[in-house]
Amino acid sequence: MLVSMNETVNPTAADRSGQARLHRETEAMVREEAPLRFAVCAVNEAENDAAILVWGQEFPDGRVEVVPDLSRVRGSFRSVDSLLRRMRACGDHPLRLVRLDPERPPTTPGPL
């Protein structure tokens, strides 16, 4: 139902029920499709030091988006492995992948 900014709408109980269902379905979809967060760090064990090179998001289909922190690497990759291969080719320190979201949370559908 589309209304102008000047109209007042009193939704019926059916409208409110439909809106609540849509909100629940939207929230479930977002939880299911949310990317997993991670960082790739350079580790210098000789100096007992580490630095964050990039921040990333891994989507359910495996594709990865990264933004730089101390690295110039930015963009889209087919997988975490392809990102790490690229970064290993450009650096001289061992890399460590640190996942902030260790696993995809289970989806628990609410009443629809």
* Residues 6 or more apart in contact with residue 53 via CB below 8 angstroms: 39, 40, 41, 42, 68, 69, 70, 71, 73, 87, 91, 95
39 touches 54 (CB < 8 A)? yes
Residues 24-82: tens digit of each pLDDT: 999 999 988 999 999 999 999 999 999 999 999 999 999 999 999 999 999 999 999 99
Q: Model pTM greater than 0.85?
A: no
The conformation of residue 67, written as its DSSP 8-state character, comes to E
73 touches 53 (CB < 8 A)? yes
Distance between alpha carbon 60 and the CA centroid of its chain, in Å? 9
